[in-house]
Amino acid sequence: MDIAEIQAYGYFGLTAFLVFVLYSYIYHLYSTDKKEGGHDYENYSNIALKDDIEDTPVSTISDDKEK
């Protein structure tokens, strides 16, 4: 096996790995969305829409302390 062949396998392997990581992340985003203990991702848009200083935070820091 010469260097070019090793590079070719390496290149294929790296591409496959990156595709795997990408799809895993997408799967992670959708599987934890709106679940208990996960995040309601789309609700985070309201951080910008409801950003007056008196508005209730979408997820407050103090939530953590209560748990």
What is the contact surface with other proteins in residues (CB under 8 A)? 7, 18, 22, 25-26, 29-30, 33, 39, 41-49, 51, 53-55, 57-61, 63-64
Q: How far is the CB of 33 from other proteins (least distance, A)?
A: 7
Whether the CB-CB separation of 35 and 29 falls below 8 Å is answered with no
- The CA R_g of the chain, rounded to the nearest whole Å, is 21
Whether the CB-CB separation of 17 and 29 falls below 8 Å is answered with no
* Burial (Cβ within 10 Å: 0-12, 13-18, ≥19) of residue 46: middle
Q: How far is the CB of 44 from other proteins (least distance, A)?
A: 5
**For other proteins, the closer CB: 5 or 63:** 63
Q: How far is the CB of 46 from other proteins (least distance, A)?
A: 7
